[in-house]
């Protein structure tokens, strides 16, 4: 069997997407933790363009960008599929994955800002949650793709877990379950899956990391 390696960072929602996919498919792999402040020569060799995690290395060949990696994994190991086989359903799934990917910047925009800039970020978060509630989770679906999780659930995982930690860091409540009942139910379902709940970053450790990052960012702005 070809060797599979994953370069990641313990706090990265994008790295966890790949971890979940590999575990759901039962693929053994070696995990290499990267210090993103002191990136390894191997990471820079495998991802010389963006120089970031995650990077999957399969049989010596690197694949970069989490969404691209998940599609690769799904094609190489078709068991427990992450994308539907039907062309239309697959296209719809890829649409929502891109939508989620395009909103990932909201994580840093929320915890690295204050004042009017932060309020603008809150507004964007609420708009995204409304779209999820009113368009992506309609029809009483347990997950975005139906009864089983797929790549869309993984793409929106930053809403299910990382948002809560960021809310604690900035002292704001953005996600109110009673306003987004379908999203709230989806979060419960998503976090109840053993592969997900057993493979999440420590919330206290992540809180400390983000709080320090926020304080450093705001201090640099005031200089």
The CATH 3.40.30.10 portion of the chain extends over 4-76
Average pLDDT score over residue span 126-153: 95
pLDDT surpasses 70 at 71: yes
| Spatial separation of the C-alpha atoms in residues 153 and 162, rounded to whole Å | 14
CATH architecture of 4-76: 3-Layer(aba) Sandwich (3.40)
Q: List, in sequence order, every residue forming a beta bridge with 64; answer none if it has no partner.
A: 55
- Under 8 Å between Cβ of 70 and 24: no
pLDDT score at 1: 56
DSSP character at residue 133: I
Question: Model pTM?
Answer: 0.96
pLDDT surpasses 80 at 2: no
The CATH 1.20.1050.10 portion of the chain extends over 87-222
Q: Tell me how crowded residue 1 is: count the other CB atoms within 10 A of its CB.
A: 6
Q: Where does 47-192 have alpha helices with state H?
A: 66-76, 87-103, 106-111, 115-131, 151-155, 157, 163-170, 181-192
pLDDT category of residue 221 using cuts at 50, 70 and 90: confident
Topology of the domain comprising 87-222? Glutathione S-transferase Yfyf (Class Pi); Chain A, domain 2 (1.20.1050)
pLDDT digits 0-9 by tens, 184-218: 999 999 999 999 999 999 999 999 999 999 999 99
Residue 199 backbone phi and psi in degrees, to 5: -135, 70
| Spatial separation of the C-alpha atoms in residues 73 and 104, rounded to whole Å | 22
pLDDT surpasses 80 at 222: no
pLDDT digits 0-9 by tens, 94-123: 999 999 999 999 999 999 999 999 999 999
- Under 8 Å between Cβ of 66 and 54: yes
pLDDT above 70 coverage of the chain, percent:
99
pLDDT score at 153: 98
């Amino acid at each position: 069997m070809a060797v599979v390696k994953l370069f990641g960072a313990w706090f990265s929602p994008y790295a966890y997407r790949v971890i979940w996919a590999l575990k759901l498919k039962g693929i053994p792999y070696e995990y290499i933790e990267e210090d993103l402040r002191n990136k390894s020569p191997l990471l820079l060799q495998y991802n010389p363009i963006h120089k970031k995690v995650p990077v999957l290395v399969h049989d010596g060949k690197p694949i970069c960008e989490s969404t691209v990696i998940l599609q690769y994994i799904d094609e190489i190991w078709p068991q427990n599929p992450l994308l539907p086989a039907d062309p239309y359903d697959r296209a719809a799934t890829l649409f929502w994955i891109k939508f989620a990917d395009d909103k990932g910047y909201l994580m840093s925009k929320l915890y690295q800002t204050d004042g009017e800039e932060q309020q603008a970020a809150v507004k964007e978060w609420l708009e995204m949650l409304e779209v999820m509630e009113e368009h992506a989770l309609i029809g009483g679906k347990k997950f975005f793709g139906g009864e089983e999780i797929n790549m869309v659930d993984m793409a929106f995982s930053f809403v299910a877990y990382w948002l809560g930690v960021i809310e604690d860091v900035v002292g704001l409540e953005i996600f109110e379950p009673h306003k987004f009942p379908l999203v709230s139910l989806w979060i419960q379902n998503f976090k109840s899956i053993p592969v997900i709940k057993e493979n999440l970053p420590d919330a206290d450790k992540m809180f400390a990391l983000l709080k320090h990052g926020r304080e450093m960012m705001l201090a640099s702005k005031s200089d």
